[in-house]
Amino acid sequence: EAGVVQSPRYKIIEKKQPVAFWCNPISGHNTLYWYRQNLGQGPELLIRYENEEAVDDSQLPKDRFSAERLKGVDSTLKIQPAELGDSAVYLCASTPGPNTEAFFGQGTRLTVV
């Protein structure tokens, strides 16, 4: 069974440029999460989807971040414009239901220069 797939693995962009990350969750997993992980810290939740609905986006910086999950499967996370402080690893995870194991992708390491 394929795991959570994220792309790209690495991205280097100049500040003020846009960037997008893509996530394909495990088939059948209705819940999808985007996290941001800064160096030496644990993941911080950005947004949680139940199917195609964003049910918790309270920690998403909406002035520059946006996300979508078309048809309740794949998801994209976008930053426009990127700032130096956005450099981090962006993780996608999916679960089959509440209080079940979260399966993580390998993450996208973003460097803003």
Binding site for another protein (CB under 8 A): 3-4, 40-45, 48, 55-56, 91, 93, 98-99, 101-107
Nearest distance, CB of residue 82 and another protein, angstroms: 23
Pairing outcome for strands 88-95 and 103-104: antiparallel
CB-nearer residue toward another protein: 14 or 56: 56
Structure token digits, residue 99: 């209080």
- CA geometry: angle at 79 spanning 66 and 51, to 5°? 30
Structure token digits, residue 48: 């949680």
CB-nearer residue toward another protein: 57 or 81: 57
CB-nearer residue toward another protein: 85 or 98: 98
